[in-house]
Amino acid sequence: MAAHVSAAVNEELNYLNWQKGIWSWLTSTDHKRICFLYLFTILLFFLAGGVAALLVRTELAFAGPTIITDPHTYNVLFTMHGVFMIFLFVVPGIPATLGNFLIPLMIGAKDVAFPRLNLFSYYVYVIGALIGAIAMFNPVDTGWTFYAPYSTTTGTSVSLMVLAAFVLGFSSILTGLNFIVTIHQLRAPGMTWMRLPVFIWASYATAVIQTVATPVVGMTLLLIIAERAFGAGIFDPSKGGDPVLMEHLFWFYSHPVVYIMVLPAFGVVGEIIPVFSRKPLFGYKMVVVSSMAIAAVGFIVWAHHMFVAGISDFSAKFFSIVTFLVAIPTAIKVFNWVSTMYKGSISFKTPMLYAMAFVFLFMVAGTTGIYLAMLGVDVYYHDTYFVVAHFHYTIQGGAVIGLIAALHFWFPKMTGKMYNETVSKFAFAALFIGFNLTFIPQFILGMDGMPRRYYDYPAQYQTLHTISTIGAYLNGFGYTFALVNLLWTALFGKVKAPRNPYNSHSLEWQTQSPPIHENFAEIPVVTEDPYSYGTPTGRGH
């Protein structure tokens, strides 16, 4: 006990150094250390998925075979890119890393509700990742969607890959469950629901989707295995099954999953913008309500992925109209962020640049989403590069930029060091320009009728494809530069971070940087909301 009592007084002792050795990290039930376990693992798959994407883009740089000699390898590569990025990188992305690190700190708790379960879900994730790695010996060529009947008949190791996705889903469920219970039960005295930071609200909405949607896809994936193993006749039409049923069940999870990816990023941006605008978050209650509304409406829009799959006219109309509804809470959020910046005292630090890029990119993603929700337009755009570009604006421009923004914003708290602003702004510029250079041409390609997942194309698409490939390399360079900069600073950086470098009001900044093992020397008592910047009652300026 003596060691922990002295931890409260000794500023040198923190969660990073109170126990030493690799084993103390791998077996740690401390939510802050588990954040790093996840972070390094998911970034490994970000790298693998990124390399697969660059290989795909290199192949597409010129018409005809470029570096890949057969279409099957091409199919394998885009499947690897999709599976790694979706199941192993973006879904655990912000929740498992920063959600883990921040939720207890932001609500004033010592840890999540079930610390052992938290470590267990990390190892479930690792097992899922290993199964996926074994599946790579006979790599899957179905695309990340595993559509039947191709997935039930192809000779590649689909069974292992969907088993991997099932196990990863189990990890995601346990993390979500842990967060819901934590937010319900462990808020510090005075931390009422309406005083919760918006990141907590976003994480809560995310956790609800994780818990409710994931079991559905899990079972669907097991049924694919049953279909392959003994021909259960559920999805394969040649055995009397219904492939559209499989698509329904798949998208019942896989549409809400894009909100699992992007809602935490909404939360991150909601934290960054008020701090660097020195103004209270505009319309806090509406931000909260819109997060929960997105989670709720997100559950009844799934079949907009299936407008050309042979669903009835009635259901197509229903899902089209409900999809338009998602635009309302999403637009409310954009208005809130912009109104927060309006007449604020804005400082363009790196996290703020990423947050503003997020708002811009997400507006493009949302607007093009409206195009795709329209029945007539979707019939034309379906399965073209327009969809690919829309999706990447949402997921990369939204979720991944959100993760990078969060890593920069909370970096001083996580590592106790300050990174170099100039270097990270340079990385941001490369990343932002590269991203748009990659995907703006893809919108145009899609409008011109270039179908997705094609190995080759006619010469008329040449120029745009080449520009897109150049953008992809610049984008990849930006990510590498930004992340290596952070890693280098964490390991060798000399500039120590103060307790609260941005003069933020939320709880995680009130404890030392990096925090002690138990987060707070004493459990804080909360007396005001976290965004009272520049108001008469608010602390600071």
Cis peptide before 498 (omega within 30 of 0): no
Q: Is 214 in the site for another protein (CB under 8 A)?
A: yes
133 CB-near residues (< 8 Å, 6+ apart): none
**Cβ–Cβ under 8 Å, residues 120 and 174:** yes
Q: What is the C-alpha separation between 92 and 135, in angstroms, rounded?
A: 20
Q: According to CB under 8 A, which residues from 227 to 256 bind another protein?
A: 229-234, 239-242, 245, 249
Q: Is 110 in the site for another protein (CB under 8 A)?
A: yes
- Tell me the closest approach of the beta carbon of residue 151 to another protein, in angstroms: 16
Q: 3-class SS at 519?
A: strand
**Cβ–Cβ under 8 Å, residues 435 and 361:** yes
Q: Is 334 in the site for another protein (CB under 8 A)?
A: no
Distances (CA, A) of 86 to 37, 234, 480: 18, 26, 19
Strands of 269-375, DSSP E = none
Which lies closer to another protein via its Cβ, residue 237 or residue 498? 237
Which lies closer to another protein via its Cβ, residue 245 or residue 363? 245
Let me know how many helices (H) and strands (E) the chain has, helices first: 21, 0
Q: Is 106 in the site for another protein (CB under 8 A)?
A: no
Q: Is 216 in the site for another protein (CB under 8 A)?
A: yes
Q: Is 115 in the site for another protein (CB under 8 A)?
A: yes
> Got the DSSP string for 264-313?
HHHHHHHHHHHHHHTSPPTTHHHHHHHHHHHHHHGGG-GGGG-TTTT--H
Q: What is the C-alpha separation between 54 and 204, in angstroms, rounded?
A: 34
369 CB-near residues (< 8 Å, 6+ apart): 323, 326, 327, 390, 394
Q: Is 529 in the site for another protein (CB under 8 A)?
A: no
Hey, what are 458's tokens?
A: 């006619």
Q: What is the C-alpha separation between 522 and 538, in angstroms, rounded?
A: 22
Q: According to CB under 8 A, which residues from 4 to 43 bind another protein?
A: 4-5, 8, 28-30
- Tell me the closest approach of the beta carbon of residue 211 to another protein, in angstroms: 6
Closest of 361, 203, 350 to residue 276, by C-alpha: 350
Q: Is 506 in the site for another protein (CB under 8 A)?
A: no
- Tell me the closest approach of the beta carbon of residue 110 to another protein, in angstroms: 4
Which lies closer to another protein via its Cβ, residue 115 or residue 149? 115
Q: Is 194 in the site for another protein (CB under 8 A)?
A: no
Site string for another protein, 174-193 (x = CB under 8 A): ---xx-xxx-xxx-xx----
Site string for another protein, 124-153 (x = CB under 8 A): ------------------------------
Q: Is 215 in the site for another protein (CB under 8 A)?
A: yes
Q: Is 313 in the site for another protein (CB under 8 A)?
A: no
Q: What is the DSSP letter of 95?
A: I
Type of residue at 36: F
Phi, psi of 16 (to 5 degrees): -75, -35
Site string for another protein, 413-452 (x = CB under 8 A): ----------------------------------------
Of the residues 308, 321, 495, 525, which one makes contact with another protein according to CB under 8 A: 525
Of the residues 144, 520, 531, 533, which one makes contact with another protein according to CB under 8 A: 520
Distances (CA, A) of 471 to 176, 300, 457: 35, 35, 19
Number of residues lying near another protein (CB under 8 A):
57
Q: Is 173 in the site for another protein (CB under 8 A)?
A: yes
Which lies closer to another protein via its Cβ, residue 239 or residue 317? 239
CB-neighbour burial class of residue 388 (10 A; exposed 0-12, middle 13-18, buried 19+): buried
Region from 364-372, 377-385, 455-463, 512-520 binding another protein, contact rule CB under 8 A:
512-520
Q: Is 218 in the site for another protein (CB under 8 A)?
A: yes
Q: 3-class SS at 454?
A: coil
The β-bridge partners of 496 are: 417
List residues near another protein by CB under 8 A. Answer: 1, 4-5, 8, 28-30, 109-111, 113-117, 173, 177-178, 180-182, 184-186, 188-189, 211-212, 214-216, 218-220, 222-223, 226, 229-234, 239-242, 245, 249, 517-518, 520-525
